[in-house]
Amino acid sequence: MLDGYVEALVAHDLTRLPVDRGARFTENGQRLELGDGLWRTVTGKGNYALRIADVERGQAVLMGTVREAGTPTIFILRLKVAARRIAEVETLVIRNQMAAESLDRIREPRRVFFETVPAAERLSRAELARIANMYFSGIERNDGKGSYPIDETCARLENGVVTAGDPALVLGAAAAAALPPRPRTGCLEQFKSGVFFYVTRIRDRRFVAVDPERGLAFAFAFFDNGSGEARHGTLADGRKITSGPSIPWTWQIAEVFKIERGKIGPVESVLHSVPYGMGSGWSSYEQAMSSQPRLD
């Protein structure tokens, strides 16, 4: 269904899609008529595609790239499917050429995202979402003193760049060796440092695709970064620093977590700046303002 959507999108041909009457469509949080927005400007497929399927709930997610006016663009697609017909379409179009080009060069997602977890070790949908949500709660007002169920080998790919962990685990040894040498910190080390203190709220946490067979939890969320006094913090080692944006700032994020034996391993995310306090278009105001997770 994901591949069929992309084929129809690139062909600018809605008739190829099995869409329910009254299907709901958003692009970057804005309600549109299906066929509007990126449908008018897309010019081709990209090279990168990470697909996630939640068979029980009929949800499927694509984290990938397309071409828009010939330029590489990050494209996130969520479909809700019932009886092989599309009832919901949620998309993010992240027009960050550098990030999209980086993903296109990587081409293949990490194989671990496709590997199954042994049946005896699989966690429930609720448990996978609970553990992944602890990642968000650990970043929100991060002080280094929280409970962080993160494996020592966790490596994070964010907008096509390795922002935590060993690049060789993400890019392969050869590609990692070509990177400029610089100090690298792991996900767990970052959390324990308190470096994310300026993230004042992570809200509208929606776990829309959970796959117990592969140990995956995919979520949309908004990171609100405080300005003013929230920019001044104390790290776990006692150092006082100023960090984060100087104006009210929100990141809209799509993130997938691989969880095994109760710990978060590989993490992949894409994000872009949106108007401060913006909602997803899929939650009520009360849900959007809450930092409690929602398992769709």
Q: Go through the domains of the chain in sequence order and give each one's CATH number.
A: 2-106 (3.10.450.50), 120-295 (3.10.450.50)
CB 72 within 8 A of CB 219: no
150: left (phi over 0), alpha (psi -120 to 50) or beta: beta
d(CA 284, CA 246): 29
With helix as H, strand as E and coil as C, how does 244-290 read?
CCCCCEEEEEEEEEEEECCEEEEEEEEEEEECCCCCCCCCCHHHHHC
What pLDDT shows up at residue 286? Answer: 66
What's the pTM value of the predicted model, to 2 decimals?
A: 0.95
d(CA 284, CA 262): 31
d(CA 138, CA 188): 10
d(CA 73, CA 263): 31
Structure-token pair, residue 214: 């592969």
Structure-token pair, residue 157: 């790919």
Q: Which helix (H) or strand (E) holds 106?
A: helix 97-106
What pLDDT shows up at residue 237? Answer: 95
103 CB neighbour count, 10 Å cutoff: 26
What pLDDT shows up at residue 259? Answer: 98
What pLDDT shows up at residue 290? Answer: 76
d(CA 253, CA 99): 14
What pLDDT shows up at residue 199? Answer: 96
What pLDDT shows up at residue 177? Answer: 85
Q: Which helix (H) or strand (E) holds 51?
A: strand 42-54
Mean pLDDT by 10 residues, the chain (296 residues): 98 96 95 97 98 97 97 98 96 98 96 97 97 97 96 97 95 87 89 96 97 98 89 94 93 98 98 96 77 80
